[in-house]
Amino acid sequence: LAKTTQPISMDSYEGQEVNITCSHNNIATNDYITWYQQFPSQGPRFIIQGYKTKVTNEVASLFIPADRKSSTLSLPRVSLSDTAVYYCLVGDGVMRGSSNTGKLIFGQGTTLQVKP
């Protein structure tokens, strides 16, 4: 069962780039890395998912080194509204094309506080 470790909290200022690193030393060969964002009193929201190298969408970028034992979520030019908890997940054996149950394993996440 792949376990993730990420910083408990981070502070940043508006306009800065924020990088949140997550370690997952026991990631399985076919596992994908997924990041979710959660605002207070709301459900988690999918941000980005990747397998290796770099993935970019309109919200964030995800950098994954060749050994896949860690990943870095990059948020460009954060604003106050990016203050939230960010979860790095390596699903319980979730892999594309598998028949696993797909349950997501959430850690404590990283609480990002963006200051003006």
List residues near another protein by CB under 8 A. Answer: 34, 41-46, 49, 87, 92, 94, 96-109
Give the shortest CB-38-to-another protein separation in angstroms.
8
Least separation in angstroms between residue 52's CB and another protein is 16
Chain centroid to CA 115 = 21
Minimum CB separation from another protein for residue 6, in Å? 11
**Cβ distance to another protein smaller for residue 13 or 108:** 108
Distance in angstroms (rounded) separating the CA atoms of residues 112 and 68: 23
Q: Which is nearer to another protein, 69 or 103 (CB)?
A: 103
As measured in angstroms, the least distance from the Cβ of 14 to another protein is 25
Nearest to 105 by CA among 90, 95, 94: 90
Most distant CA pair in the chain, distance: 46
Kind plus residue range of the DSSP H or E element containing 19: strand 18-23
DSSP state, 17?
A: -
* C-beta of 63 vs 105, nearer to another protein: 105
| Main-chain dihedrals φ then ψ at residue 2, nearest 5 degrees | -70, 125
Cβ distance to another protein smaller for residue 51 or 63: 51
